[in-house]
Amino acid sequence: MKHTDAKNDHLAAYWMPFTPNRAFKDTPRIYKSAKGLYYETTDGRQILDAFSGLWCSNLGHCHPKITEAIQKQAANLDYSTAFNFGHESAFDLANVVADQFPGDLDHVFFTNSGSEAVDTALKMALAYHRINGEGTRTRLIGRVNGYHGVGFGGISVGGMVNNRKFFGGLLGGVDHLPFPYNAERDAFTRGEPGTDPMEYLKELEQIITLHDATTIAAVIVEPMIGSAGMFLPPKGYLKKLREITEKHGILLIFDEVITAFGRLGDANAASYFGVTPDICTMAKGINNAAVPMGAVIASKKLYDTFIDGTKAGIEFFHGYTYSAHPLAVAAGLAAQEVYKEENVYAHVRSVAKYFEDGLHSLKGEPHITDIRNIGLAGGLTIAQRDGVIGARSYDFFLKCYEHGIGVRSNGDTIAIAPILVSNPEDLDPIFDALKKAANEID
Ligand SMILES: Cc1ncc(COP(=O)(O)O)c(C=O)c1O
- In a shared domain, residues 322 and 396: no
User: What is the number of domains present in the chain?
Assistant: 2
Rounded Cα distance between 117 and 129, Å, is 19
Name the DSSP class of 9: G
- In a shared domain, residues 40 and 141: no
Q: For residue 210, which amino acid is it?
A: L
Nearest atom of ligand 1 to the alpha carbon of 259: 1
- In a shared domain, residues 348 and 332: no
| Domain-terminating residue out of 324, 341, 358 | 341
Edge-to-edge strand ranges of the sheet holding 279-282: 105-111, 294-299, 279-282, 251-255, 216-221, 139-143, 174-177
Find out whether 282 and 89 touch, Cβ atoms under 8 Å.
no
- In a shared domain, residues 239 and 382: no
CATH code: domain of residue 358: 3.90.1150.10
Higher pLDDT, 8 or 420: 420
At 188 the pLDDT is: 98
- pLDDT tens readout for residues 127-152: 999 999 999 999 999 999 999 999 99
Helix (H, G, I), strand (E, B) or coil at 86: coil
| Domain-terminating residue out of 341, 371, 404 | 341
Rounded Cα distance between 333 and 135, Å, is 38
Nearest atom of ligand 1 to the alpha carbon of 149: 6
Rounded Cα distance between 144 and 159, Å, is 4
Mean pLDDT of 63-81: 98
At 5 the pLDDT is: 57
* Cα 11 → chain centroid: 28
Residue 2 lies in a domain: no
Residue 291 lies in a domain: yes
- In a shared domain, residues 130 and 270: yes
- pLDDT tens readout for residues 209-248: 999 999 999 999 999 999 999 999 999 999 999 999 999 9
Find out whether 197 and 237 touch, Cβ atoms under 8 Å.
yes
Which H helix or E strand runs over 407?
none
Across the strands, what pairs with 297? 108, 280
What is the longest distance spanned by two Cα atoms in the chain? 66
Measured in angstroms, how far is the CA atom of residue 212 from the centroid of ligand 1? 30
Rounded Cα distance between 249 and 386, Å, is 47
Residue 366 lies in a domain: yes
- pLDDT tens readout for residues 2-59: 655 567 889 999 999 999 999 999 999 999 999 999 999 999 999 999 999 999 999 9
| Domain-terminating residue out of 318, 341, 364 | 341
- In a shared domain, residues 153 and 117: yes
- pLDDT tens readout for residues 293-342: 999 999 999 999 999 999 999 999 999 999 999 999 999 999 999 999 99
Mean pLDDT of 245-268: 98
Report the residue count for the chain.
Answer: 442
Nearest atom of ligand 1 to the alpha carbon of 281: 3
At 94 the pLDDT is: 98
Residue 115 Cβ < 6 Å to ligand 1 = yes
- In a shared domain, residues 95 and 30: no
- In a shared domain, residues 174 and 295: yes
Residue 142 Cβ < 6 Å to ligand 1 = no
Residue 147 lies in a domain: yes
At 8 the pLDDT is: 80
Residue 330 lies in a domain: yes
Q: Which residues in 265-367 belong to E strands, given as ranges?
A: 279-282, 294-299
Single out the residue of 53, 52, 26, 32 nearest to residue 44, CA to CA: 32
Give the percent of the chain with pLDDT over 70: 99
CATH code: domain of residue 186: 3.40.640.10
- Which structural domain range is residue 40 located in? 9-59+343-440
Name the DSSP class of 234: P
Across the strands, what pairs with 203? none
Single out the residue of 219, 238, 278, 281 nearest to residue 256, CA to CA: 281
- In a shared domain, residues 206 and 102: yes
At 9 the pLDDT is: 85
Mutate to test the pocket of ligand 1, among 145, 258, 280 (most ligand atoms within 8 A of CB): 258
Q: What is the pTM of this model?
A: 0.98
- pLDDT tens readout for residues 329-377: 999 999 999 999 999 999 999 999 999 999 999 999 999 999 999 999 9
Residue 1 lies in a domain: no
- In a shared domain, residues 133 and 168: yes
Residue 4 lies in a domain: no
Measured in angstroms, how far is the CA atom of residue 228 from the centroid of ligand 1? 11
Q: What is the mean pLDDT of the chain?
A: 97
Residue 224 lies in a domain: yes
- In a shared domain, residues 147 and 16: no
Mutate to test the pocket of ligand 1, among 19, 56, 118 (most ligand atoms within 8 A of CB): 118
Single out the residue of 403, 402, 400 nearest to residue 416, CA to CA: 400
- In a shared domain, residues 266 and 121: yes
Measured in angstroms, how far is the CA atom of residue 37 from the centroid of ligand 1? 22
At 4 the pLDDT is: 54
